[in-house]
Amino acid sequence: MIGTRRRLALLATTLSVLLLTGACASLPESSSPQAIGTLATAVPGTSVESPASGREPDLLVRDFVKASTDPSNRHAAARQYLTKDASARWDDAASAVIVDKIDTLSASRTSSEAVYTIRVNKVGRLDPGGLYVPEEGSFEAKMTLTLTDGEWRISDLPPGVIMERPQFLGAYQRKSLFFLDPTSQTVVPDLRWISGGQDQVAAQLIGLMIDGPKAALAPAVRNELGNGVSVIGPITKADGKPGQVGVGLGGVRINFRLDNPMDAATRGLFAAQVIWTLANADVAGPYVLEIDGEPLDAAHAEGWTTADVASTNPLATTSATVGLHALRNGSLVSVSEQEATPVPGFAGNAGNLTAAALSRDGKLVAAVADTARPDPATRFDLSLGTYGDGSAPVLEGSAITRPSWELDNNAVWAAVNGNTVVRVVREPGTGRVSVTNVDVGALTSVGSTISELRLSRDGVRAAMIIDGKVYLAVVVRTPSGVYALTSPRAVASGLGSTALSLDWSNSDTIVIARSGADIPVVQVAIDGSRMDALPSGNLTAPVTSVDASPTTEYVADARAVFQLNNNDPAGDRRWREVTVLTGQKAIPVLPG
């Protein structure tokens, strides 16, 4: 019991720290990103604060770790804490370990030399290209300090950089590179952490995009800024004059060189990647994009805006037009502010549904029904039908998860019997249905029972609950046409209790309902770098179901269905009951 209370206290503290600490993302300016420690990000005229005079050796070690969060000029700030010889030997690019809190233990000390050991718990690491990788375990490093000209300086230390998480979150920003989904219908985020001033962000992000997506994501996306693309000269303001490029500062002008020709459609996709990457990093338009000094597209010679690439908007959602639905007493109802009305098709009259999913356009319904058959192996049916008409059973099993629709509204996924994932395709013209298995061989290494599976809106990732833990996998279509879930990884290792339900808030964030009563709902970044507690004051555990959109989260707790508006002021964010479902056992349902 004591151990449980300690774990809960640790989770609450961790979540509180993350909530109070800003987290965006960025790396030092370089057109060819390198290991994090080698990126040069000096801003002209920026001075580096010197170590405090007369500092005791243990405190100097702490100051050094704090200074190590600034990677400018090969960690020039941190090198001031080293002797000249140690600075020459220190390989700051070897690694970048992120830890919870520094503890220094004195191993020995004389009047001229002190040896300290740092013992910490790792929470992650920062890989080349600004990639955050969650990582747990203990970490130990020994440092020797020497009294030099009356001041303690570090004379021997291991390679690599150590950063405390709060300082890391304050010094680095999380940004998204955007690549294209395989069908070029939308853009897909690839989270990176960068450091430097706002005037450096555009150059850093464009350089990272040219380098391409991270290895796990590469087979699932397209990159029109890949081979044969480079940037000519500096990125300037839209009027072509030098100066700071950033928020509200007159847009940007980027002159590219292309080794390979592009047709008009491809140039539009090229622009979409650039514009959504910069716009989501708070680099304001207009975006003047050129090829060898000529407009990328003559129709946009004065610059592009996000409206020009709206069809690929990563935050686009159909939930506002399709509207909230809910499963109530085993049937699907449409929910308005005034009433909850049974939908006209099969799902509105079923009476035995345990899960349902609307296609993103709201025209189709995939539903799981409890048939009450005596054979446990065939108890549940997965059916597919139109919103206002009948349905056809597709398959049966001992357990079937809530279905999840692909971006094009023609295929739905579900996990069956805990260890099989199926892809059900409905031909738009004929209505014929086919079922194929998804390759889940990569998942066997992480667990055995899939209790939840949700495709991201871009269709490139799948969030899953496997044996009560949250995992993310990349959706790849192999050359043979088979779909596979690849590169699974845990993204909520600090959850502290069993995950019960999850959904995508947006393309880079997952909302999770957990069994813990203290913090029943959290949001997790897809790179595992952040876990933020959502308000919990008026929820009653357990929260058994969650459905989400970029604007709103919906949950079902032990009493009712609640909604959380993401546009509410931070100090006034709270769950509000969906009044037309008051006193009824219901499960929220949004498109997807």
- Please report, for the domain that includes residue 377, its CATH number: 2.120.10.30
- Pairing status of strand 294-295 against strand 325-328: unpaired
Give the per-residue pLDDT at 48: 55
> Domain boundary at 249, 279, 312, which?
312
Would you state the pLDDT for residue 494? 84
Sign of the dihedral through C-alpha 227, 232, 234, 236: negative
Least confident among 135-149, 235-249, 344-358, 480-494: 235-249
DSSP 439: B
Average confidence score pLDDT of the chain? 88
Residues 148 and 244 in one domain: no
- The amino acid at residue 337 is E
Mean pLDDT, to the nearest integer, of 562-583?
88
Rounded Cα gap, residues 201 and 385, in angstroms = 47
Task: Note whether 393 and 530 are same-domain residues.
Answer: yes
- Structure confidence at residue 569 as a pLDDT band (50, 70, 90): confident
* Residue 299 within a domain: yes
Q: What is the DSSP letter of 234?
A: -
Query: pLDDT tens-digit profile of 429-448?
Result: 888 999 999 999 999 999 99
Any domain includes 559: yes
Residue 2 placed within a domain: no
* Angular region, 137: left φ>0, alpha ψ -120 to 50, beta rest: left
**Of 143, 171, 199, the domain-final residue:** 171
pLDDT at 61: 94
Q: Are residues 254 and 334 in the same domain?
A: no
Q: How confident is the model at residue 373 (pLDDT cuts 50, 70, 90)?
A: very high
pLDDT band at residue 199 under the 50/70/90 scheme: confident
Residue 9: pLDDT band (50, 70, 90) is: very low
pLDDT digits (tens, 9 = 90+) for 102-113: 887 778 899 999
Q: Are residues 369 and 388 in the same domain?
A: yes
Asked which of 312, 330, 347 is the last residue of a domain, the reply is 312
Say if residue 410 is in the same domain as residue 533.
yes
Exposure string (b/e) for 579-589, b if CB count within 10 Å is 16 or more?
ebbeeeebbbb
The model's confidence at residue 390, banded by pLDDT at 50, 70 and 90, is confident
pTM, full prediction: 0.88
Q: Nearest 10 degrees: CA dihedral of 484, 514, 322, 474?
A: -20
Question: Is the residue at 352 inside a domain?
Answer: yes
**pLDDT average, residue stretch 547-560:** 92
**160 and 180 housed in the same domain:** no
**Per-residue confidence (pLDDT) for residue 320, from 0 to 100:** 66
| Residue that wins the pLDDT comparison between 94 and 24 | 94
398 shares a domain with 325: yes
What is the structure's pLDDT at 1? 37
226 in a domain, yes or no? yes
Return the percentage of the chain with pLDDT > 70, whole number: 90
Least confident range from 291-300, 313-322, 415-424: namely: 313-322
Contacts of residue 434, Cβ cutoff 8 Å, sequence gap at least 6? 424, 425, 427
pLDDT of residue 307: 96
Cα separations (Å) of 392 from 69, 243, 378?
58, 62, 16
433 and 579 fall within a common domain = yes
Q: Is residue 27 part of a domain?
A: no
pLDDT of residue 315: 86
**Are 194 and 301 part of one and the same domain?**
yes
Q: Is residue 22 part of a domain?
A: no
Shared domain check, 466 and 326: yes
Tens of pLDDT, residues 462-510: 999 999 999 999 999 999 999 999 999 999 988 989 999 999 999 999 9
Report the DSSP pairing between strands 252-258 and 287-291: parallel
At 298 the pLDDT is 95
pLDDT for residue 375: 96
Task: For 325-366, write each residue's pLDDT tens digit.
Answer: 999 999 999 999 999 999 998 999 999 999 999 999 999 999
Mean pLDDT of 22-34: 29
Which range of 10-19, 31-40, 150-159 scores highest in mean pLDDT? It is: 150-159
Q: Are residues 414 and 525 in the same domain?
A: yes
pLDDT at position 295, please? 96
Closest by Cα among 357, 265, 278 to 311: 265
The whole-number average pLDDT for the span 533-545 is: 90
pLDDT at 300: 96
Per-residue pLDDT, 265: 95
Under 8 Å between Cβ of 276 and 309:
yes
Q: How confident is the model at residue 460 (pLDDT cuts 50, 70, 90)?
A: very high
Q: What is the pLDDT of residue 571?
A: 75
Contacts of 515 (CB under 8 A, 6+ apart): 497, 498, 499, 500, 541, 542
Per-residue model confidence (pLDDT) at position 196: 83
Same domain, yes or no: 498 and 458: yes
Query: What is the count of structural domains for the chain?
Result: 3
Integer Cα distance of 354 and 583 in angstroms: 18
Least confident of 83-97, 173-187, 528-542: 528-542
- What per-residue confidence (pLDDT) applies to 249? 66
- Phi/psi at 376 (nearest 5 deg)? -60, -25
- Using 50, 70 and 90 to split pLDDT, how confident is the model at 16? very low
pLDDT of residue 38: 26
Give the Cα separation of 84 and 285 in Å (integer): 45
Q: Do 491 and 510 form a contact (C-beta atoms < 8 A)?
A: yes
Domain that holds residue 74: 33-171
CATH number at residue 78: 3.10.450
**Residue 19 lies inside a defined structural domain of this protein:** no
Band of residue 27 on the pLDDT scale cut at 50, 70, 90: very low
Asked whether 172 and 164 are in contact (CB, 8 A), the reply is: no
